[in-house]
Structure 1
Amino acid sequence: MGQIQKLEKLTALQIAAGEVIDRPASVVREILENAIDANGQNIQLEIFNGGIQKIILSDDGDGIAKEDLELTVERHATSKIQSISDLNQLHTLGFRGEALASIAAVAKLSITSKPQNQEHAWQIKTDGLNRKTSSPSSGIEGTRVCIEDLFYLTPARRKFLKKANSEYHKVDQVVKKICLANIHYQLIFKNDQKIVRKIPAATSIAEAKPRIEAILGNEFTNHLHFHSHESAMGQIHSWVAHPKFSRARSDLQYIILNSRVIKDPAISNAIKRAFNDVMMIGRYPALVLYLSLDPAMIDFNVHPTKEQVKFQDIQEITRWIVSVLKKQIDQILSVSHTKPSPSPTLNYVAQPITDSKITTSSISHQKPLHDFIDNPVQGAEPDPQQVAFAYDEKEQSQTDKTTLFKSDEGMMPFRSEKDIGSSLSQEKQQHQSLTLGQPLHHLGKRYILSEVEDGLIIVDAHAAHERILYEALKKQYEDIGVVTQNLMLPLEIQIDDSICDCIKEYMTVIEQFGFHVEVVDSSLIKLSGIPKLLQHSDPKKLFLDMVVELQQDHESHLISEKVNQILATIACHRSVRSMRGLSHQEMASLLRQIEQTELANVCNHGRPTWIKMKSEEIDHLFHRS
Structure 2
Amino acid sequence: MRTPDASTDGLIQALPDTLASKIAAGEVVQRPANALKELIENALDAGGSSVEVVLKKAGSELIQVTDDGCGMGPGDAVASFGRHATSKLRRFEDLEHLRTLGFRGEALASIASVAQVELTTRRQGDEEAVRVRVNGGDLEDVAPAAAPNGTCIAVRNLFFNVPARRAFLKSPATEFKHLVEAFQALALSHPTVGFTLVHDDTEVWRLPATDGPDALAVRLDALAGGGLEGKLVPVEEATSYLSMHGLVASPERSRRSRGEQYLFVNGRFVKSRALDHAVVSAFGALLPERQHALYALFLDVDPRHVDVNVHPTKTEVKFDDDRGVYSFVKAVVKRCLAESGLGLSFDPLARPVGPSDPPPSPSFEPPPASSDLEGPIPSAATVPARGDGSSRPAMPASVPTFRLEAGSGLGAMPPLPDRGDLEPVPPTIPDPTVGPIPARLGPAFDVGDDLELDASDADRTFWQLHGRYLLSPVRSGLLVVDQRAAHERILYERALATMASGMSISQQLLFPFTVDLSPTDRALLSEILGDLQALGFQMEAPDGQPVLVRGVPADVTLGDERAVLDDLLAQFRRNHGLRLSARENLARSMAARSAIRPGHPLGPAEAKLLVDQLFGCDDPFSDPAGRPTMTRWSTDEIDRRFRPR
When normalised by structure 2's length, the TM-score is: 0.51
Equivalent position amino acid for 2:127 in 1: E
Equivalent position amino acid for 1:72 in 2: S
Match of 2:139 in 1: 131
Aligned mates of 2:380, 2:221 — CA distance in 1: 40
The alpha-carbon deviation at position 552 of structure 1 amounts to: 6.5
Equivalent position amino acid for 1:38 in 2: A
| 3-state SS in 2 of match to 1:180 | helix
Aligned mates of 2:14, 2:21 — CA distance in 1: 13
Match of 1:307 in 2: 315
Match of 1:274 in 2: 282
Assess if the C-alpha contact under 8 Å between 1:200 and 1:210 holds in 2. no
Does residue 176 of structure 2 align to residue 165 of structure 1? no
1:80 to 1:551, Cα distance in 2 relative to 1, 3 A: closer
Match of 2:120 in 1: 112
Please, which of 206, 222, 227 is the counterpart of residue 235 of structure 2?
227
Equivalent position amino acid for 1:132 in 2: E
Does residue 63 of structure 2 align to residue 55 of structure 1? yes
Deviation string for 1:570-622 (max 9, x for gaps)?
A: xxxxxxxxxxxxxxxxxxxxxxxxxxxxxxxxxxxxxxxxxxxxxxxxxxxxx
| Structure whose residues are more often helix by fraction | 1
1:40 to 1:303, Cα distance in 2 relative to 1, 3 A: same
Does residue 81 of structure 2 align to residue 73 of structure 1? yes
**Structure 2 unaligned blocks of 5 or more:** 1-6, 351-361, 367-378, 385-645
The alpha-carbon deviation at position 204 of structure 1 amounts to: 4.9
Match of 1:323 in 2: 331
1:324 to 1:75, Cα distance in 2 relative to 1, 3 A: same
Aligned mates of 1:551, 1:62 — CA distance in 2: 44
Match of 2:205 in 1: 197
Aligned mates of 1:265, 1:277 — CA distance in 2: 19
| 3-state SS in 2 of match to 1:219 | coil
Equivalent position amino acid for 2:327 in 1: R
Deviation string for 1:261-287 (max 9, x for gaps)?
A: 111232122112211242233322221
Match of 1:248 in 2: 256
Equivalent position amino acid for 1:240 in 2: V
The alpha-carbon deviation at position 29 of structure 1 amounts to: 0.4
Q: Which has the higher mean CA deviation after the structures are superposed, 82-91 or 105-114?
A: 82-91
Aligned mates of 1:57, 1:552 — CA distance in 2: 37
Q: How does 1:346-365 map to 2 (within 5 A)?
A: none
The alpha-carbon deviation at position 186 of structure 1 amounts to: 0.1
Match of 1:283 in 2: 291
Aligned mates of 1:285, 1:553 — CA distance in 2: 18
Assess if the C-alpha contact under 8 Å between 1:257 and 1:291 holds in 2. yes
The CA RMSD over aligned residues, in Å, is 2.8
Aligned mates of 1:54, 1:295 — CA distance in 2: 35
Deviation string for 1:204-253 (max 9, x for gaps)?
A: 56432221122122134552222322232333212111123222233322
1:187 to 1:553, Cα distance in 2 relative to 1, 3 A: closer
Aligned mates of 1:31, 1:100 — CA distance in 2: 8
Does residue 218 of structure 2 align to residue 210 of structure 1? yes
Match of 1:410 in 2: none
Please, which of 297, 304, 310 is the counterpart of residue 305 of structure 2?
297
Assess if the C-alpha contact under 8 Å between 1:17 and 1:103 holds in 2. yes
Assess if the C-alpha contact under 8 Å between 1:121 and 1:139 holds in 2. yes
Equivalent position amino acid for 1:18 in 2: G
Please, which of 33, 45, 52 is the counterpart of residue 25 of structure 1?
33
| 3-state SS in 1 of match to 2:48 | coil
Match of 1:9 in 2: 17
| 3-state SS in 2 of match to 1:61 | coil
Deviation string for 1:461-493 (max 9, x for gaps)?
A: xxxxxx78x58xx9xxxxxxxxxxxxxxxxxxx
Please, which of 57, 79, 82 is the counterpart of residue 90 of structure 2?
82
| 3-state SS in 1 of match to 2:251 | coil
Match of 2:584 in 1: none
| 3-state SS in 2 of match to 1:125 | strand
Match of 2:435 in 1: none
The alpha-carbon deviation at position 123 of structure 1 amounts to: 1.1
1:241 to 1:314, Cα distance in 2 relative to 1, 3 A: same
Assess if the C-alpha contact under 8 Å between 1:198 and 1:214 holds in 2. no
Does residue 246 of structure 2 align to residue 238 of structure 1? yes
1:302 to 1:185, Cα distance in 2 relative to 1, 3 A: same
Assess if the C-alpha contact under 8 Å between 1:212 and 1:221 holds in 2. no
Assess if the C-alpha contact under 8 Å between 2:193 and 2:208 holds in 1. yes
Equivalent position amino acid for 1:181 in 2: S
Aligned mates of 2:151, 2:87 — CA distance in 1: 15
Aligned mates of 2:212, 2:305 — CA distance in 1: 24
The alpha-carbon deviation at position 90 of structure 1 amounts to: 0.9
Aligned mates of 2:292, 2:172 — CA distance in 1: 30
Equivalent position amino acid for 1:274 in 2: A
Assess if the C-alpha contact under 8 Å between 1:206 and 1:226 holds in 2. no
Please, which of 335, 341, 354 is the counterpart of residue 333 of structure 1?
341
Aligned mates of 2:200, 2:316 — CA distance in 1: 32
Assess if the C-alpha contact under 8 Å between 1:41 and 1:184 holds in 2. yes
The alpha-carbon deviation at position 127 of structure 1 amounts to: 0.6
| 3-state SS in 2 of match to 1:282 | coil
Match of 1:183 in 2: 191
Assess if the C-alpha contact under 8 Å between 1:227 and 1:237 holds in 2. yes
| 3-state SS in 1 of match to 2:222 | helix
| 3-state SS in 2 of match to 1:315 | helix
Equivalent position amino acid for 1:298 in 2: V
The alpha-carbon deviation at position 256 of structure 1 amounts to: 1.2
Aligned mates of 2:304, 2:213 — CA distance in 1: 23
Deviation string for 1:488-544 (max 9, x for gaps)?
A: xxxxxxxxxxxxxxxxxx9xx99x99xxxxxxxxxxxxxxxxxxxxxxxxxxxxxxx
| 3-state SS in 2 of match to 1:22 | coil
Q: How does 1:418-497 map to 2 (within 5 A)?
A: none
Aligned mates of 1:21, 1:221 — CA distance in 2: 37
Greater Rg by CA: 1
Aligned mates of 2:172, 2:213 — CA distance in 1: 34
The alpha-carbon deviation at position 50 of structure 1 amounts to: 1.1
Equivalent position amino acid for 1:299 in 2: D
The alpha-carbon deviation at position 83 of structure 1 amounts to: 1.6
Match of 1:155 in 2: 163
1:552 to 1:136, Cα distance in 2 relative to 1, 3 A: closer
The alpha-carbon deviation at position 52 of structure 1 amounts to: 0.8
Match of 2:154 in 1: 146
Aligned mates of 1:237, 1:205 — CA distance in 2: 12
The alpha-carbon deviation at position 73 of structure 1 amounts to: 0.4
Aligned mates of 1:6, 1:195 — CA distance in 2: 46
1:331 to 1:52, Cα distance in 2 relative to 1, 3 A: same
Aligned mates of 1:75, 1:40 — CA distance in 2: 24
Assess if the C-alpha contact under 8 Å between 2:327 and 2:380 holds in 1. no
Assess if the C-alpha contact under 8 Å between 2:264 and 2:299 holds in 1. yes
| 3-state SS in 1 of match to 2:95 | helix
The alpha-carbon deviation at position 334 of structure 1 amounts to: 5.2
Assess if the C-alpha contact under 8 Å between 1:221 and 1:241 holds in 2. no
1:17 to 1:261, Cα distance in 2 relative to 1, 3 A: same
Deviation string for 1:184-215 (max 9, x for gaps)?
A: 21011100121100112232564322211221
Equivalent position amino acid for 1:26 in 2: N
Assess if the C-alpha contact under 8 Å between 1:57 and 1:144 holds in 2. yes
Q: How does 1:573-612 map to 2 (within 5 A)?
A: none
The alpha-carbon deviation at position 325 of structure 1 amounts to: 0.7
| 3-state SS in 1 of match to 2:340 | helix
Aligned mates of 1:552, 1:100 — CA distance in 2: 34
Assess if the C-alpha contact under 8 Å between 1:183 and 1:205 holds in 2. no
